[in-house]
Amino acid sequence: MQDAMDDINLFSVITVLSFLLSCPLMLFAEGVKFTPGYLQSSGLNLQELCIRAALAGFCFHGYQKLSYLILSRVSPVTHSVANCVKRVVVIVSSVIFFSTPISPVNALGTGAALGGVFLYSKLTRTKKPKNA
């Protein structure tokens, strides 16, 4: 008997397969430059690099699982709007945290994203259900 694969398992299988398919390309492009000996000779702390890479992968996998969980509970449009808000929050918080100057084009884009989210929120709240 074959069990049906849910979205999370499918995502996991696709991630593993993409890693396995990318490895030969990485070895072809980087060659021996990506060996532990080469990385240590270039001054990198190999243990810290591995820990940070594993932590980044773990966090990204958790983010993707949470995204699938949220998508299963809300409409795709609501999920897309929430993703847009997340991006704006990340941009604004990184500008504040790192004291990065923001260009007028970036400010305009962030404002447009916030304005779109605001309008969507207003329209969905005032939208009246249709009675047939």
pLDDT tens for the chain, 132 residues long, are: 466 777 778 878 888 899 999 988 888 887 767 677 777 788 888 888 889 999 999 998 888 888 888 888 988 888 888 887 888 788 888 888 998 888 899 889 878 888 887 788 778 777 656 654
Return d(Cα 7, Cα 4) in angstroms, integer: 10
Domain ranges of the chain: 1-73, 75-132
CB 124 within 8 A of CB 74: no
The residue ranges of DSSP E strands in the chain, in sequence order, are none
Count CB neighbours of 19 within 10 A: 11
Distance of alpha carbon 100 from alpha carbon 85, whole angstroms: 20
DSSP 130: P
